[in-house]
Amino acid sequence: MLHSIFDVHTHYDETVFDADRAEVLESERASGVCGVINSGSSVPSSRRSIDLAHQFGHVYASVGVFPLEAYDVPEGWLEQIAGLARDSRCVAVGEIGLDYHLEDGVGPSEAQQESQKHVFCAQLSLARERGLPVVIHDRDADEDTIALLREQPCPGMIHRFFSRAEYGFRLLEMGLSLGIGPAITYPDAGELIRVVREMPLDRLLLETDAPFLPSARFAGQRATSLMIGDVCETIARVRGDVDAQQVAQAARENTRRMFGV
């Protein structure tokens, strides 16, 4: 059993955990998970993330508005996020970013993309003001994400990285870290495997996006932080220069350095 597992991106506030949230978090802690960061995606979920972080000693929070929530943000949303970002259990601004993914051939309109950019940039400014790292959601929006980060550089990570390898290397060159999760255990992970094989180990962070991204052998189930074990095993196999425990420990050290936990 691996130890020193730190899951830097989770959503344990989701309703799918309502029946057994405490049991799941405590059992994970007893099984090698030393910490998790619960990520906000809206003002309410950011508040729930802070609440979880105060309830469980190994849980920390990031707060922010997710790009697909940018179209209908409440009045005073940025001030509310800024207030939550001042909480002692908040370690990052996120999950923020851009999402241009097509569903059934339809993606966000030009006006919606502009709304996403506005909300993203406002939160980049907040992170810079607060001296916090950012947790960035980038789905099919690599060029605009890179352009906006060049305008407002922030330390941080790309959550659930799954873009083409060329973008991974560009993001690494900008000083960002990459969140690697169970996507690497699936057959279509060729581009991701190339990045993980060649990237510096000190830029690697581990995540599950729980409950949304189970490892391949648990496909169809809700994800939990224990599935990082499969991620570590896969990373060790494709790199060949570390074992699974060394992957977990390196990622934990990277987490400590970036988020101060």
pLDDT digits (tens, 9 = 90+) for 160-214: 999 999 999 999 999 999 999 999 999 999 999 999 999 999 999 999 999 999 9
Q: What tens digit of pLDDT does each residue of 2-13 get? A: 999 999 999 999
The C-alpha angle 244, 228, 58, rounded to 5 degrees, equals 110
Nearest to 133 by CA among 205, 191, 184: 205
pLDDT at 1 over 90: no
User: Which class for 16: exposed (0-12), middle (13-18), buried (19 or more C-beta within 10 A)?
Assistant: middle
Query: DSSP 3-state assignment of 15?
Result: helix
Share of the chain above pLDDT 90, in %: 97
Percent of the chain with pLDDT over 70: 100
Average pLDDT for residues 64-87, to the nearest whole number? 97
Per-residue pLDDT band at 259 (split at 50, 70, 90): very high
pLDDT in the model for residue 53? 98
- Per-residue confidence (pLDDT) for residue 105, from 0 to 100: 84
How many structural domains is the chain composed of?
1
Q: Write out pLDDT tens, residues 102-140.
A: 888 889 999 999 999 999 999 999 999 999 999 999 999
Average pLDDT over residues 17-27: 98
Which residue range(s) make up the domain with 131? 5-259
- Residue 138 confidence (pLDDT): 97
Q: State the average pLDDT for the chain.
A: 97
Quick one: tokens of 192? 């991701």
pLDDT for 102 equals 87
pLDDT of residue 215: 97
Tell the residue number behind the tokens 């599935």, with chain if given.
Answer: 227
What are the distances in angstroms from CA 97 to CA 33, 58, 244? 27, 26, 30
> Strand 5-10's sheet: what is its strand order?
5-10, 33-39, 59-63, 90-99, 134-139, 156-159, 177-180, 204-206
What is the reported pLDDT for 104? 84
* 82 membership: H or E segment, kind and range: helix 77-85
Residues 74-101 have a mean pLDDT of 97
CATH number at residue 193: 3.20.20.140
